[in-house]
Structure 1
Amino acid sequence: MIQLLEPHPDFEIAALTASESSAGKTYRQAAKWRVDSPIPADVAEMTVTATDPAEVPNDVDLLFSSLPSSIGSEVEPDFCEAGYVVSSNSSNARMAEDVPLVIPEVNADHIDLLEVQRDERGWDGALVKNPNCSTITFVPTLAALEEFGLQRVHVATLQAVSGAGYDGVSSMEIIDNAIPYIGSEEDKLETESKKLLGTFEGAALDLHDVEVGASCNRIPTIDGHLENVFVETESDVSPEEAAEAMREYPGLDLPSSPGQLIEVFEEPDRPQPRLDRTLGDGMKISAGGIRESTFGLQYNCLAHNTMRGAAGASVLNGELLLEKGYL
């Protein structure tokens, strides 16, 4: 997130917060920097403060949160009550009825659910969420196919180890192996997708009635979630029509949104994590292997799970909040 924000045209990092064990240290001392670029010099020497509204400058316009969900559920409402707008990558409250869950290119209009949220909770601040990294990978392709009438979807994920965090999967578990289970991940794909594809009429959000089933697997790639998707639609759709719908699906005029959201490959063996995860500075979705099957339409899709699927998604939501006047 710091790597993306440091050169950002609209945002400037004003404060960094963490647990009490890090408070008072410089960011260089507190952080285990494992990103493929140096720590920005000015950020490295910033003093980390406690994660408390009283410790954050009151002229800060936007907070980015990527806390463990158990901590986020306690901390984030405190900041919203104190008047801060929070763009959060944490999984807590994603399915709350008054919390917008947003992929800006897919459901930017859902951001206006914040008006309902503020009325109901009495907040001067606001809380917006981006979805799970594996959900972000396939939902834009479903949104592109919505014109054909989505009925049933099954997705099987091949998820990179970085999605589990640096200490999430040990080398002895994952090398020469694949793990056909990721705790709570299947439920996130099945529920978050229905909310993202739902409709917002100004007072409440209606979930999409598409049926979604998911099977999640961890594989020994570093970055890039690859997913096999099977879609049944109300009207017949040919592979050529599906490919065209994905290619033509619009991006947004926001700094972190790629001009073309979905890159479609003709080659049957693409996309691949190592070759395609950094398309559009890691913010593109790629798709390929589109074909007819006994289940309707079948294809593969890929996204960079820590860029488009996490940090970049939160930054993009921050850009949408700015554009829509919530900052």
Structure 2
Amino acid sequence: MTVRAGILGATGAVGQRLIQLLEPHPEFEIAALTASEDSAGKRYDEAAKWRIDVPIPDSVAEMTVGATTPEDVPDDVDLIFSSLPSSVGEEVEPAFCEAGYIVSSNSSNARADDDVPLTIPEVNADHIDLIEVQRDERGWDGALVKNPNCSTITMVPPLAALDEAFGLDRITVSTLQAVSGAGYSGVTSMEIIDNAIPHIGGEERKMETESRKLLGEFDGAEVSWHGARVDASCNRIPTLDGHLENVWTDTEADATVEEAKEAMRSYPTLDLHSSPEQLIHVFEQPDRPQPRLDRDADNGMAIAAGGIQETDGGLQFNCLAHNTLRGAAGASVLNGELLLERGYL
């Protein structure tokens, strides 16, 4: 089965990554592109300032960009990928769902809503069935599915492995986040060169709430959020791609370093097209992972972990993921693959 897919916000940074991942995809076909009113009606190669280090696919370059409304997307599109700013997504995405489209969204709006699946397929694939609750409550023929924030995606798989093995009481994280996470114009060179910015607006709250929802239990009707306390400090540094994070945990059961490494290494991946061969790569070297060296593991879809140490009451570790691949566009594509596997498309 080939799924006809549309991309909302196709000219932006994540939209370009979605094109990069979807154009050669064996299960998805790019059938519609939308962007702002300034871009609507133009050829894609005229509307987009292409910044990916591979050429624009010829088939996409010649496509006409539409406006971001359900009326401008063909009826035979099966799945919508959204990379809209959250202020736009909160208005536009429900309109697409009401019109019968299934939306796999990277935008931050609605992630905490009780009836919206927030999923990392390897961690909480069962949460996807919140779609049934959502449709009953909202009367939609379509559906809205979210992937979490790029910094949350980086730490949750290792945390899920530790929680399954030892239980988690408290999580503290300090991030070192790449500039691409702010978009192409989000941080100027004068702000970030020779500098670090010890605050990213709204990011701490996203990490603190989204991680608890992702690690929660779904009983078929609702998600009970994980009870661990989560505290986050988010920092922007002058790397291009790859969010590096320092994480401290208090565990319910005692855990040795070797037991923690084994829990992460053995945490299962999935058999979806974009799934990494191994979800969590564990390094023995104390100075790994590093963004430049490790962000592209398994086509940028793996999580890297290292520096695992015992602490008083728990464990400390470092983790890393490619923020625009695993943390954004790739996460939305993986959710689309999960929707297909579970029969929602």
TM bracket, shorter-chain basis: over 0.9
Distance 2:46 2:335 in 1: 29
1:293, distance to aligned residue in structure 2 (A): 2.2
Name the counterpart of 1:28: 45
Match 1:54 to one of 61, 71, 76: 71
Name the counterpart of 1:242: 260
Name the counterpart of 1:177: 195
Contact 2:147 2:328 in 1 (8 A): yes
Distance 1:178 1:200 in 2: 39
Is it true that 1:271 corresponds to 2:271 in the alignment? Answer: no
Letter of the 1:279 counterpart: A
Match 2:184 to one of 166, 176, 179: 166
Is it true that 1:82 corresponds to 2:105 in the alignment? Answer: no
Letter of the 2:179 counterpart: V
Match 2:137 to one of 104, 120, 130: 120
Name the counterpart of 1:101: 118
Helix, strand or coil: the match of 2:37?
A: coil
Distance 2:119 2:174 in 1: 22
More divergent stretch after superposition (288-297 vs 72-81): 288-297
Match 1:200 to one of 218, 225, 239: 218
Distance 1:294 1:26 in 2: 59
Contact 1:137 1:303 in 2 (8 A): yes
TM-score (norm 2): 0.94
1:3, distance to aligned residue in structure 2 (A): 0.3
% same residue:
76
1:133, distance to aligned residue in structure 2 (A): 0.1
Contact 2:179 2:187 in 1 (8 A): yes
Name the counterpart of 1:291: 309
Letter of the 1:220 counterpart: P
Superposed CA deviations along residues 10-29 of structure 1, whole A, max 9, x for unmatched, are: 00000101111111100001
Match 1:151 to one of 165, 169, 193: 169
Moved over 2 A (4+): 293-296
TM-score (norm 1): 0.99
1:55, distance to aligned residue in structure 2 (A): 1.2
Letter of the 1:302 counterpart: L
Distance 1:256 1:298 in 2: 29
Is it true that 1:214 corresponds to 2:251 in the alignment? Answer: no
Superposed CA deviations along residues 48-103 of structure 1, whole A, max 9, x for unmatched, are: 01111111110110000000000000000000000000000000000000000000
Name the counterpart of 2:13: none
Helix, strand or coil: the match of 1:255?
A: coil
1:296, distance to aligned residue in structure 2 (A): 2.2
1:198, distance to aligned residue in structure 2 (A): 0.4
Q: Which runs of 5+ in 1 are unaligned?
A: none
Distance 2:70 2:249 in 1: 45
How many residues in Structure 1 have an aligned counterpart in Structure 2?
327
Letter of the 2:293 counterpart: L
Distance 2:69 2:317 in 1: 45
Contact 1:230 1:295 in 2 (8 A): no
Letter of the 1:18 counterpart: A
Name the counterpart of 1:40: 57
Distance 1:219 1:273 in 2: 11
Letter of the 1:283 counterpart: M
1:259, distance to aligned residue in structure 2 (A): 1.8
Is it true that 1:134 corresponds to 2:134 in the alignment? Answer: no
Superposed CA deviations along residues 290-312 of structure 1, whole A, max 9, x for unmatched, are: 01123520110000000000000
More divergent stretch after superposition (273-282 vs 292-301): 292-301
Name the counterpart of 1:321: 339
Distance 2:69 2:222 in 1: 31
Name the counterpart of 2:319: 301
Q: Which runs of 5+ in 2 are unaligned?
A: 1-17
Distance 1:94 1:215 in 2: 20
Distance 1:47 1:88 in 2: 22
Distance 2:217 2:314 in 1: 25
Distance 1:15 1:217 in 2: 36
Distance 2:89 2:31 in 1: 20
Distance 2:99 2:62 in 1: 27
RMSD of the TM alignment (CA)? 0.6
Helix, strand or coil: the match of 1:281?
A: helix
Distance 2:306 2:124 in 1: 23
Letter of the 2:193 counterpart: I
